[in-house]
Amino acid sequence: MTTPRVHTSELRGTALANEIRARAASAATELTAAGTPPQLAVVVATDDGSSAWYVRSIARAAAKTGIQCTLVELGPKATAEQIRTSLTALSADPEVHGIILQTPLPDGVAFDDLAAAIDPAKDVDGANPLSLGRLTANLPAFAPATAAAVLALLDRHEIELAGRHAVVVGRSTVVGKPTAQLLLQRDATVSICHRHTKDLAEITRRADVLISAAGRIGLITAAHVAPEAVIIDVGTNPTDDGGLVGDVDTASVQGRVAGVTPVPGGVGPVTTALLLQHTVQAARRR
Ligand code: NAD
């Protein structure tokens, strides 16, 4: 495979997301006919607006795919114990196949600790620390959907990874680390940058494949990229006018790189589609 020289708009995720959803829908139809209607449960303990928007978009996509999506609304004052009790009950419920713990969580409630209460077999967003551990050990596990979406986009656009330098900006447990792990599994040479990295541009300029997952508007500019680099923009940053932009200053890098994913319309739709795919996979394994 070679790196194609492509225009910005060609690294879109919408067509790929449609295909993944169509496959998940036909699996959901089969499962339902066989008496196992797939069900995804989303535990929500926040009144954050962008989180509510995200949850609604998952519920809409699930409904269109023939997957039942159950929202478990615990409210922004929920305690860690209430959230854990809910996750434990859903893990034991044979009719629930996938479980997502939505963020943000109430102040003082730690995500990783609670996510450990999600049955790994139902952990469709790879939130349980066991899932990341298994991923790191090359054992079967659900990868966080966003990290899986990055790899799915790279594969879709036939971007070679073996032996190439991939730079991941961001080291969160939910996005940066698992993305780096998946790239490593594919034989890329991986560098991970974060907020303490000195001279970010000096490192990102050496990337064949640059993944930005920092959540900082305009972080990646022309000064941060090599010619022919492929950029996957994971960042989703709300703007004052109600829009959404990524981390990459697209106007600045356009024409200098091989390709960059748009925001919105890049990683986001693929992430949602993969959550649904993981849910039908979990239902099939029962
Ligand atoms: P996070 O805040 O937990 O982590 C951000 C990471 O970026 C940290 O590791 C931090 O060290 C690093 N960082 C911050 N500023 C930096 C800088 N100036 N230079 C270098 N590194 C810097 O966020 P997260 O949950 O990992 O999410 C990252 C972004 O991805 C956010 O914009 C989030 O909204 C988005 N996101 C998108 C999807 C999707 O499906 N598209 C899914 C999840 C998260």
pLDDT digits (tens, 9 = 90+) for 67-95: 999 999 999 999 999 999 999 999 999 99
Q: How far is the CA of 38 from the centre of ligand 1 (A)?
A: 31
Where in the chain do CATH 3.40.50.720 domains reside? 145-268
Look up residue 2 and give its two tokens: 């070679």
Ligand 1 pocket, CB under 6 A: 146, 169-172, 174-176, 193-195, 197, 200, 213-216, 219, 234-237, 267-268, 271
For 36-76, what is each residue's pLDDT tens digit?
999 999 999 999 888 898 999 999 999 999 999 999 999 99
* Ligand 1 pocket mutation pick from 53, 111, 195 by most atoms within 8 angstroms of CB: 195
Q: Enumerate residues 6+ apart whose C-beta is below 8 A from 148.
A: 126, 182, 271, 274, 278
* Total number of residues shown for the chain: 286
Q: How far is the CA of 175 from the centre of ligand 1 (A)?
A: 7
40-65 burial: b if 16+ Cβ within 10 Å, else e: bbbbbbbeeeeeeebbeebbebbeeb
- Nearest 10 degrees: Cα torsion 217, 223, 229, 231: 0
Q: What is the mean pLDDT of residues 158-184?
A: 98
Of 209, 187, 191, 189, the closest CA to residue 200 belongs to: 191
Where in the chain do CATH 3.40.50.10860 domains reside? 35-119
**CA 146, CA 180: separation in Å to the nearest integer?**
12
**Fold for the domain defined by 35-119:** Rossmann fold (3.40.50)
pLDDT, residue 10, reads: 62
* Sequence-ordered alpha helix ranges (H) in the chain: 14-33, 49-65, 80-92, 111-115, 129-136, 145-156, 176-185, 200-204, 250-253, 267-284
Q: How far is the CA of 41 from the centre of ligand 1 (A)?
A: 25
For residue 171, give the ligand 1 atom closest to its CA. 9
Q: Would you say the C-alpha torsion 281, 176, 135, 55 has a positive or negative sign? A: negative
Q: Is 147 in contact with 182 (CB distance < 8 Å)?
A: yes
For 102-143, what is each residue's pLDDT tens digit?
999 999 999 999 999 999 999 999 999 999 999 999 999 999
Q: Report CA 45 to chain centroid distance, whole Å.
A: 20
Q: What is the pTM of this model?
A: 0.96
The second-level CATH assignment, the architecture, of 145-268 is 3-Layer(aba) Sandwich (3.40)
**CA 49, CA 251: separation in Å to the nearest integer?**
28
For 198-213, what is each residue's pLDDT tens digit?
999 999 999 999 999 9
**CA 60, CA 156: separation in Å to the nearest integer?**
25
Q: How far is the CA of 26 from the centre of ligand 1 (A)?
A: 33
Q: Report CA 13 to chain centroid distance, whole Å.
A: 12
